[in-house]
Amino acid sequence: MRLPTSSIKAVVFVAALLPLVRLLVLGLTNQLGANPVEFVTRSTGTWTLVMLLVTLAVTPLRVLSGWNRLAVLRRMLGLFAFFYATLHFTTFVWFEHWFDLAEMLSDVIKRPFVTAGMAAYLLMSALAATSTNAMIRRLGRRWQTLHRLVYVIAVLGVLHFWWLKAGKNDLAEPRIYALVVVALLGFRLVQYVRRRRARARLQASGGSRRSSA
């Protein structure tokens, strides 16, 4: 039996909310550990990166599996990545710095991992703001160019996590995320090269036909 697209989206929507539900349950039952702010910061940051990479994995999975209905999940997953990024950013602004703008700016300037994270969030905000159908129509071809920045965001996200963990000499997890990003970028590059070659062959065959005519 073929599930309706709406049902698939509903299942993914509920699954994407589970990390938030877990945080709320742990918070309400006082199980966030000795440092709740650090726990929430770490959790929301991790799920931002996971959601972002899952979003980027939609196209490769669709191409490799031939299941084109996966494409309808990409925007929703991308918005969930932004949602968890916003929770991560809110924790930084509110619970870590208590809205002290000078202290936050100092953090952004002096700590490279914060700089990378802030740059990634600003770019994500731009993509989220232009994710509506109205903005897609308004921007036209420029929309696709703009949303290719998602790969830059992924790199910045991994750098944010890498530099954070480098200070603690714990790079095992960041390496996994880095390898996933490299694989996704590699897939994108291969697809780009194939399209260029296909267009070149098409143009060459068209030129040959005109010459013979």
Q: What is the pLDDT of residues 133-190, one digit of tens each?
A: 999 999 888 888 899 999 999 999 999 999 999 988 889 999 999 999 999 999 999 9
Give the pLDDT confidence of 55-102 residue by residue, as tens digits: 999 999 998 888 888 888 999 999 999 999 999 999 999 998 899 999
Name every residue whose Cβ is closer than 8 Å to that of residue 128 and which is 6 or more positions away in sequence.
78, 79, 82
Q: When comparing pLDDT for 7 and 127, which is higher?
A: 127
Distance CA 122, CA 204 (A): 43
Name every residue whose Cβ is closer than 8 Å to that of residue 193 and which is 6 or more positions away in sequence.
none
The pTM is what? Answer: 0.90
Using an 8 Å Cβ cutoff, are 77 and 58 in contact? yes
Residue 79 CB-density burial (10 A; 0-12 exposed, 13-18 middle, 19+ buried): middle
Domain range list for the chain: 5-212
Q: φ, ψ for residue 199 (rounded to 5)?
A: -65, -40
Q: Please check the confidence at residue 27 and state whether its pLDDT lies above 70.
A: yes
Which two three-digit tokens encode residue 70?
A: 């996966």
